Amino acid sequence: MSIDVPTTGRALPELQPVRFIGANGQPADTDTAGLTPPSLSTLLGLYRQMVHVRRFEAQVTALTKQGRLATYPSAAGQEATEVGATTALGPTDWLFPTYRDSAALLTRGVPVAEILAAFRGDWHCGFNPYEYHISPAATPLATQTLHATGYAMASKLKRRGECTLTFFGDGASSEGDAHEALNFASVWQTPTVFVLQNNQYAISTPLRAQSNATMFADRAAGYGIPGIRVDGNDVAAVFAAVSAALERARDGEGPTLIECLTYRIESHTNSDDPTRYRDSAEVDHWKQLDPIDRVEKYLRSHGALDDVGNEEILASAEVLAASVRDAMNTDSELDPTEIFAHVYANPRTHLREQQAILEAELAEAGRR
């Protein structure tokens, strides 16, 4: 009797990350793994969105420092991965993000106030997942990778053609759920794209304390799926790799692991102090590899962007920032008894009793 040996995805990916646009905006001369770069007009749209995202992150970080939000994990420096991957999704595809991925939510059109409801302390998830095809941002690390796999399995069983994309970090990659998700997705051949944002830190823990593998993308081979490492600061590479993975997924060819090599420029959250674990020279080095500068240079050198066009983009980012300030400077109206409203589909007597206690307390305090 012969053993059935799947042979897909056995080749190890290239060590050199796939890159279309170099750090100075020049076309890169590295191997691009047969991927097709986005058109100039797509790239211009990606650039515009990255500028918006950066302004958004800066504004939210500032408001958090002013105490308008409880906490905020910024993705500054990771705009190419956030925007490139999210933009590649089709309208019916689903995104399974983490706390780090507000930029992705913004890119997919979730209103600012709904994105920030969680960090503001209003509610855990501020948006309707079915409206934007985005699951609530997961904080328990890597749990969402399994949800993405399960959702994709349902899509496959129902032949709905929806793909799923999940973000997870270098730290989260060590969690069992990340492993289980990659394995389930491979065995079930689900239409799932796993985007590992390797920003080289899990809070303070550096990459080499997390994994001793040459690179995360190599793991794909062990699961029997294709893996690829891209320059996560090159939006063209991210967009191309995710688009190709989605196409494979839609064609019934199963999941892909995409490692995006990037860097978290800001602190983990506003309450973190990165000077305790990394020096400014390292941060400065990565600032040289900025994901936005390079696209701007590339677009300008290809005649797709001029000063006037850029001014318009920057001005629209300021409009966005103003809307963030407006949203966060408006006090939210919360009904304390809503904590009882959504626990169960089938109402429970003891929750009604406890709600009555709270209602009486509120009445006593003149809040009812």
Partner 1 sequence: MTVTALTSTEEDPAPTSVTMAKALNRALHDSLAEDENVVVYGEDVGRLGGVFRVTDGLQAEFGTERVWDSPLAESGIVGTAVGMAMAGMRPVVEMQFDAYAYPAFEQIVSQVAKMRNRTKGRVSLPITIRIPCAGDIGGVEHHSDSSEAYWCATPGLTVVTPSNPADAYSMLRESIASDDPVIFMEPKSRYWMKDQLSLPVTTAPMGRAQVVRAGNDVSLLAYGSTVRTALAAAEVGAEHGLSVEVVDLRSLSPFDDATVSASVRKTSRAAVIHEAAQFGGFGAEVAARVTERNFVHLAAPILRITGFDTPYPPPKLEEHYLPTPERVLDAIETWDWEL
Ligand X SMILES: Cc1ncc(C[n+]2csc(CCOP(=O)(O)OP(=O)(O)O)c2C)c(N)n1
- φ/ψ (deg, to 5) at 300: -65, -45
For residue 344, indicate whether it is catalytic. Answer: no
The alpha-carbon radius of gyration of the chain (Å, integer) is 22
Based on the shown chain and the rule CB under 8 A, indicate whether residue 356 belongs to the binding site for partner 1: no
Q: Identify which of residues 195 and 230 has a Cβ nearer to partner 1 in the complex.
A: 195
Based on the shown chain and the rule CB under 6 A, indicate whether residue 199 belongs to the binding site for ligand X: yes
- The residue range among 7-15, 43-51, 139-147, 298-306 that interacts with ligand X, by the rule CB under 6 A, is 139-147
Q: Identify which of residues 123 and 286 has a Cβ nearer to partner 1 in the complex.
A: 123
Based on the shown chain and the rule CB under 8 A, indicate whether residue 254 belongs to the binding site for partner 1: no
Three-state DSSP state, 260 = strand
Interacting residues of 353 by C-beta distance below 8 A, sequence separation 6+: none
Q: Identify which of residues 30 and 183 has a Cβ nearer to partner 1 in the complex.
A: 183
Q: Half-sphere exposure (CA, 13 Å, Cβ side) for 219?
A: 23
Q: Identify which of residues 99 and 263 has a Cβ nearer to partner 1 in the complex.
A: 99
Distance between CA atoms of 76 and 56, rounded to whole angstroms?
9
Smallest Cα–Cα separation from 98: which of 143, 164, 57, 150? 143
* Region label for 159, one of left (φ > 0), alpha (ψ between -120 and 50) or beta (otherwise): left
Question: 255 near 186, Cβ under 8 Å?
Answer: yes
Distance between CA atoms of 348 and 41, rounded to whole angstroms?
55
Based on the shown chain and the rule CB under 6 A, indicate whether residue 171 belongs to the binding site for ligand X: yes
Based on the shown chain and the rule CB under 8 A, indicate whether residue 151 belongs to the binding site for partner 1: yes
Q: Identify which of residues 72 and 201 has a Cβ nearer to ligand X in the complex.
A: 201
Based on the shown chain and the rule CB under 8 A, indicate whether residue 164 belongs to the binding site for partner 1: yes
- Min dist CB 220 to partner 1, Å, is 16
- Sheet of strand 192-198: strand arrangement: 94-96, 164-169, 192-198, 256-261, 227-231
- Min dist CB 247 to partner 1, Å, is 21
Based on the shown chain and the rule CB under 5 A, indicate whether residue 169 belongs to the binding site for Mg ion: yes
Single out the residue of 77, 169, 224, 291 in contact with ligand X (rule: CB under 6 A). Answer: 169
Based on the shown chain and the rule CB under 6 A, indicate whether residue 347 belongs to the binding site for ligand X: no
Identify the active-site residue in 19, 108, 120, 264.
264
Q: Which two tokens stand for residue 65?
A: 């420092």
- Min dist CB 140 to ligand X, Å, is 5
Question: 295 near 277, Cβ under 8 Å?
Answer: no
For residue 302, indicate whether it is catalytic. Answer: no
Name which of Mg ion, partner 1, ligand X, none residue 100 binds, using a CB cut-off of 5 to 8 Å depending on partner kind.
ligand X
Identify the active-site residue in 124, 277, 302, 348.
277
- Min dist CB 180 to partner 1, Å, is 3
Single out the residue of 47, 184, 201, 223 in contact with ligand X (rule: CB under 6 A). Answer: 201
| Helical segments of the chain, H only | 40-65, 79-88, 102-107, 112-120, 129-132, 143-157, 176-188, 207-210, 219-223, 235-250, 280-288, 291-301, 307-329, 349-364
Question: 343 near 351, Cβ under 8 Å?
Answer: yes
- Min dist CB 201 to partner 1, Å, is 23
Number of H helices, E strands in the chain: 14, 7
Based on the shown chain and the rule CB under 8 A, indicate whether residue 343 belongs to the binding site for partner 1: yes
Single out the residue of 11, 12, 15, 125 in contact with partner 1 (rule: CB under 8 A). Answer: 125
* Region label for 109, one of left (φ > 0), alpha (ψ between -120 and 50) or beta (otherwise): left
Residues annotated as catalytic (active site), given as ranges: 264, 268, 277
Q: Which residues bind partner 1 (CB under 8 A)?
A: 96, 123-125, 128-130, 135-136, 138, 140, 143, 145-155, 157-158, 160, 162, 164, 176-177, 180-181, 183-184, 187, 338, 341-346, 348-350
